[in-house]
Structure 1
Amino acid sequence: MQSINKRFNLKGLHLLLSVVWKTSPFVFVTVLLVTLANTALQFIPVLMPKIIIDELMGQCRNSILARDIALFVAVSLGLNVFTMALQYYINTKNLEITKEFNLKIGSKLLTMDYEYTESPAALDKKEQAYQAISASGGITSLLNTLISTISSLLSIAGLIYILSTLNYLIIGIIVLIILINTLLQRKTRNIQYSFWHKLIPVNREYNYFYRTILDFNFGKDIRLYNIKDLLLQKSKQNMKKTVDNMMELTNKKSLYACVTEIAVLVQQGVIYGYMAYKVLNNSINIGSFTMYVSAVYKLSQNINLIIGYIINLSQSLLYLNAFVEFINLPNQKQRTGQPVKLTNPYQLKLVNVSFKYPAAEQYTLHNVSLTLNSGDRLSVVGMNGSGKTTLIKLITRLYDPTEGEILLNGVNIKNYDYTEYLDLFSVVFQDFRFLAASLKDNITVGQGCKERTHLLETLSKVNLHEKIEGFVNQEDTMLYKIFDEQGVDLSGGESQRLAIARALYKDAPIVILDEPTAALDPLSEYHLYSHFNDLTANKTAIYISHRLSSCKFCDTIAVFQRGQLIEKGSHEELMACSSGIYREMFNAQAKQYVI
């Protein structure tokens, strides 16, 4: 286990150094200079008292005393100012380095397999990665700890040399006491890391409820359904778990801290007693006594510090290991492959496709075979939970089938270049999202803005042209008021039409609409249906809807039940089947309208 942790710690250290080098190679030079300056500052309070006391006890020359004191003050002041200037530069670069680490997390979130976004284990790793940047002071603390560690090592070497002129036994006593304290500190750090690791899922849950409280989109539901009490209760439960764990941690740390203090007092009593004995026997003078006392204090302090630094460094790198694990989460999907050369006619075919979500026991889809030819309009219907949206996730390669295969022109879609394959689809999911950016950016995102006439034509197709033309900034109007007080909040139906506009603007050969009219009023729905063929002209369309009247616009209807394809045919063919599920569902809806 230790070798594994060591390997990951080295990975974390390598990552840290590589990011520092990328941000500014000069940081390494600055670190070296700060280290040397800090080391020099360690010896001034050790040597200065001896020199001054020796002069006072000897010839007591005022000019020499004044010169020595002025020299020590000037050197101390100069080194401190020099160190502060360099430390300011390092802290400035630390901000850039921290941002670089945040960008690495963002980049990973944008490129990792979609299935990780629905995996609690992967989400915990993401939370650990974010906390790794801020744990124990974050990246800034980590770099400063490196500087302090090197500085303390150099100081210890010099102080050991000074004390060796008195007695090596003193060094042995100091090292023994510090080794005892080290074991106690290590236990404390292990407890602290275990506490941090245990709180990851608790913090993730707390952050979710906290973000929900701050999310204005939940405002109406919170008030109308009195969700306030539930949210506060959940938050309090999470806080109680955190407090209970912190109390346990504090109690154990306090016990170890008490033992550490006792050991230090014993060390000081023995060493100071020995040096007082040497003075009484005239083995050393008062100036040397002062120097040795300061050296003992500094050595003890630096050894304690360096052990603490090493433990902190190891602990921080252990936290950083969580960051490394997250950004190194392997993508299971094959990303590279043969280019997609889509020529008409083309065919998308599912062959005995079955799928079950990771860690799930039951299949969401089972043994589905379906063929979609270029230009076809397919309607997918079924009860909630029948696997309709999962089917779309498989076709668009957000997930890969557990069994079976999906073929495009006879080639398994896994063998195509992943990015090129995704370019074939314009999709509107039920849970679509928009950015707090301009309306134009939300429609043209990822495509680049073509001619304005093309954008306006797209808006006209979804009956949004007049609405957006009425805004002062028209298509440059900001969506939401997060960054702009003049931003707009669209209604549910308008947002859904904007999502459809984004899909149409992409102009991909295959259009997939998942419940596209759920938030539309009857007139807008009629407008969409009546222009359905125009919207999907020369394209292949897959249409998911609970409103079965939309199926009349499609060539083929696929009926799903409990993850299986149980019926397939045109509206007329399925209505002709007296015992069919589709006929039963259609008549049940039609009956409500007739009544």
Structure 2
Amino acid sequence: MNNHKSEYGVIQTIRFMIRQAVKEAPAVLVWLVVDAILALILQLLELYVTPVLLRDIEEQIALKELVTTILFFSSGILLLTGLKEYINNATYQGKIEIRMSLCKAITEKIGATSYCNLGKKDFQEKKERTNQATSSNSSATEIIWIQLNQLVFCILGFLAYLFVMKRMNVLILAVTILAAVVSYLAAQRSVVWLQNNRAENDHARQCMWYLRGEAWSPVSAKDIRILHMKEWLLKTMKQNYEIFMHFERALGNHHFMADCVNIFSALIRNGVAYAYLIGQVLAGNMDAPQFILYFSAVSGFTSWVQGIMENVAQIRQSGVGISDVMELISYEEPYRFEDGEPLPKNAAGQYELRLENVSFRYPGASEDTLHNLNLTIQNGEKLAVVGRNGAGKSTLVKLLCGFFDPTDGCVLLNGEDIRKYNRKEYYRLFSAVFQDFSILPGTIAENVAQCVDEIDFSRVKAAVKDAGLEENIERLSEKYETKLGRKVHLDAYELSGGETQRLMLARALYRNAPVIVLDEPTAALDPIAESDLYERYHELTKGSTSIYVSHRLASTRFCDRIILIGAGGIAEMGTHEELMEAGKEYAHLYEVQSRYYTEGGMEDAAFDA
């Protein structure tokens, strides 16, 4: 259950879902009302069948007429039950289509939203809540149709039973309604308690599932054994289990109290109703069939009142989940996309990137990661960005790529602020490989081309060949149609670390964008392998503007210019030779790192440190 304040009210969420239904599956709305009417007729048949048959028996009507009455009620009940089941099956697919259309809209929003949104806490929270609201047949965006159907059904039933009970004393109606309200409020007290206290229980449940997953995981199996983690796992799981069980016992007590109130309310309601109806029978104002009819109506009337209140509460709760979906889909976009200006035509393919007085601070941080930075990257230049971990190298790259907008200052493309352009078009200028790159659960060709339609296989093969991966792929039975990603395809091929790196190179070559960005994608490789791969990128991307990010200084010696990021800005800048000659931090870091890669240097470096 959600326990946060929604931006949209219940009426707005219902309107939103109705609009979705009209667009995706309008039959759901029609059948929703028809099903409620049929359900009411079925309820009335079941209400009247016993009193009518009892009256017929008392009046000793002919057997043929009695059988006819029985057949009428039985056929009606059977027919209506069958129709309801047909409607349920007929609308099942439509309800799923509506929910899946929202899943698609959410996926499109998350996949296309401004990159900076992905790091915002409220966006992440909304994303998690929308998953709860759309993940199953019982989630808010699908269960809402059952709840609306039941609300219509209860309202119609309330009106119908009110008409049936019009002969009864107003006091009986008042007691019946009061008993229903008291029972509902007692049940709601349990619901409110659950909402206010489930956070700790949810955390304990998540911990238990996590710990169980780790205990079962082949990846964690080695650590559990060699580090003697078994006792710690069991102890931590037991602690969370006790929290979980304490919550469940307390919840059970609240439910028990609510049930007791419900039973007591029903006892008072039935006692008053029995007293009144028996008095009417003894006074000769009511016969036995009427007694049964009205007593059944009293019980049913309570159900209608409770049903209305319960369904309103359920719809309100589902409305919170639907509001989460609406909030995410309409989440504000700080970047311009379709409403942005198109990039100016550049037949010569000449692009200059410039950071002008750029500062950037992450949300919630007390200091700028980068402060008042100025940098110009000329067309065709090979630029290396180096520095210690956490210095701001990746942040600089994300600013250049347009993933982040500066807190102050601006990023310029050929002298124009990139914020005015269509950001999607701006992204097309870059071919980037990041440290956390993605292997899609598709074919090798699709992973190289990064699309599923209109793949240029000649370009794919050329890129794979240049990346040095051709021989490996040609050995596979499916070759370029070989599937990757075992989480989706059981027969998928598993790439080695080296093959993955070369696939990323092939992907960059296929894209053939004006600007190449490598943001430490080789961090898992040894220094020699990283240097070789960077050299290969250098050879194959001549003429392109290239930005190489690394914390290993030896990998980027070939670059036209090297900038060392430190203290929120550019601490040093120049060629490798110039920086070494200057003898400052770059030269010191290079010397320290180089000791690790010479014979016997590991011990010397450790000793010097």
Q: Structures share a fold, TM > 0.5?
A: yes
Do structure 1's residue 288 and structure 2's residue 290 form an aligned pair?
yes
Name the counterpart of 1:115.
116
Distance 2:194 2:235 in 1: 27
Distance 1:581 1:6 in 2: 52
Distance 1:224 1:587 in 2: 36
Name the counterpart of 2:592.
588
Distance 2:402 2:233 in 1: 36
CA contact (8 A) 1:128 1:200 kept: no
Distance 2:475 2:529 in 1: 18
Q: How big is the shift at 1:203?
A: 6.8
Deviations 1:41-77 (A, max 9, x none): 1111222222222222224332221211111111111
CA contact (8 A) 1:354 1:365 kept: yes
Distance 2:208 2:395 in 1: 29
Are the structure 2 counterparts of residues 244 and 504 from structure 1 closer, same or farther at C-alpha, using a change threshold of 3 Å? farther
Are the structure 2 counterparts of residues 507 and 220 from structure 1 closer, same or farther at C-alpha, using a change threshold of 3 Å? farther
CA contact (8 A) 2:7 2:327 kept: no
1:98 partner amino acid: R
1:543 partner amino acid: Y
Name the counterpart of 1:504.
509
The answer for unaligned runs of 5 or more in structure 2 is 600-609
Name the counterpart of 2:555.
550
Name the counterpart of 1:8.
9
2:69 partner amino acid: D
Are the structure 2 counterparts of residues 364 and 425 from structure 1 closer, same or farther at C-alpha, using a change threshold of 3 Å? same
Q: Indicate which of 384, 388, 392 corresponds to 2:393.
A: 388
SS of the counterpart of 1:371? strand
Name the counterpart of 1:411.
416
Q: How big is the shift at 1:514?
A: 1.5
Do structure 1's residue 157 and structure 2's residue 162 form an aligned pair?
no
CA contact (8 A) 1:135 1:316 kept: no
CA contact (8 A) 2:441 2:488 kept: yes
Q: Indicate which of 264, 267, 273 corresponds to 1:265.
A: 267
Residue range with higher mean Cα deviation, 264-273 or 62-71: 62-71
1:156 partner amino acid: F
Residue range with higher mean Cα deviation, 407-416 or 221-230: 221-230
Distance 2:163 2:127 in 1: 48
Residue range with higher mean Cα deviation, 76-85 or 114-123: 114-123
**Percent identity between the two aligned chains:** 29
Do structure 1's residue 322 and structure 2's residue 324 form an aligned pair?
yes
Name the counterpart of 1:337.
340
Q: How big is the shift at 1:84?
A: 0.9
Are the structure 2 counterparts of residues 345 and 308 from structure 1 closer, same or farther at C-alpha, using a change threshold of 3 Å? closer
Distance 1:536 1:210 in 2: 48
Q: How big is the shift at 1:550?
A: 2.7
CA contact (8 A) 2:25 2:97 kept: no
Name the counterpart of 1:514.
519
Distance 1:266 1:301 in 2: 15
CA contact (8 A) 1:447 1:506 kept: no
Name the counterpart of 2:79.
78
Q: How big is the shift at 1:221?
A: 7.0
Q: How big is the shift at 1:205?
A: 6.9
Are the structure 2 counterparts of residues 404 and 8 from structure 1 closer, same or farther at C-alpha, using a change threshold of 3 Å? same
1:24 partner amino acid: A
Q: How big is the shift at 1:430?
A: 0.7
Q: Indicate which of 460, 463, 470 corresponds to 2:468.
A: 463
Matches within 5 A, 1:233-312: 241-312=243-314
SS of the counterpart of 1:329? coil
* TM-score of the two chains, using structure 2 as the length reference: 0.89
The answer for unaligned runs of 5 or more in structure 1 is none
Matches within 5 A, 1:429-578: 429-446=434-451, 450-520=455-525, 524-525=529-530, 527-578=532-583
Deviations 1:376-413 (A, max 9, x none): 11000001111001111111121111111111111111
Are the structure 2 counterparts of residues 323 and 234 from structure 1 closer, same or farther at C-alpha, using a change threshold of 3 Å? farther
Distance 2:41 2:53 in 1: 18
Matches within 5 A, 1:50-129: 50-129=51-130
* TM-score of the two chains, using structure 1 as the length reference: 0.91
Distance 1:58 1:129 in 2: 61
Distance 2:239 2:580 in 1: 54
1:389 partner amino acid: S
Do structure 1's residue 180 and structure 2's residue 182 form an aligned pair?
yes
Q: How big is the shift at 1:588?
A: 2.1
Matched pairs, number = 592
Distance 2:587 2:78 in 1: 90
Distance 2:66 2:452 in 1: 77
Residue range with higher mean Cα deviation, 318-327 or 495-504: 318-327
Name the counterpart of 2:607.
none
Residue range with higher mean Cα deviation, 66-75 or 183-192: 183-192
Distance 1:351 1:242 in 2: 54
Are the structure 2 counterparts of residues 504 and 227 from structure 1 closer, same or farther at C-alpha, using a change threshold of 3 Å? farther
Distance 2:452 2:517 in 1: 18
Q: How big is the shift at 1:229?
A: 7.2
Name the counterpart of 1:379.
384
Q: Indicate which of 413, 424, 427 corresponds to 2:432.
A: 427
SS of the counterpart of 1:107? helix
Q: How big is the shift at 1:219?
A: 7.4
Distance 1:235 1:120 in 2: 28
Q: How big is the shift at 1:347?
A: 1.5
Q: How big is the shift at 1:81?
A: 0.8
Are the structure 2 counterparts of residues 594 and 311 from structure 1 closer, same or farther at C-alpha, using a change threshold of 3 Å? closer
Name the counterpart of 2:30.
29
Distance 1:197 1:176 in 2: 33
